[in-house]
Amino acid sequence: MIVIRHSEPTILDELPFGSQCKVPRPNKLSYELYVQTSKDSTNPKWEFGGYFLVAEKDDEVNKLVNAKLSILK
């Protein structure tokens, strides 16, 4: 699941393990990425995944996210 917010996610953003949250940067050319790394969606743990260009292919971003999540499984 991918959500777009205007600020970084908090513990109130109860989404499933592996969910992504994109926060557009003011320049609108890039975004911050956060990944929900807790298997308990009622107690989410959002980790900063980095800054990415909007023009970057989602496939490349998803590869990085999946690599991070595979370590946590």
pLDDT the model gives residue 36: 95
State the CB neighbour count (10 A cutoff) for residue 45: 13
DSSP-derived 3-state class of residue 7 = coil
Domains in the chain and their CATH numbers?
2-72 (3.30.160)
> What is the four-CA torsion angle of 55, 33, 6, 53, rounded to 10 degrees?
-20
CA–CA dist 59, 73 (Å, integer): 21
Q: What is the per-residue pLDDT for 73? A: 65
pLDDT of residue 64: 85
- pLDDT for 59 equals 84
Q: Convert the pLDDT of each residue in 14-67 to its tens digit.
A: 999 999 999 999 988 999 999 999 999 999 999 999 999 998 888 888 888 888
- Compute the average pLDDT of residues 3-24: 95
Phi, psi (rounded to 5 degrees) for 61: -65, -45
- Whether the pLDDT of residue 70 is over 90: the answer is no
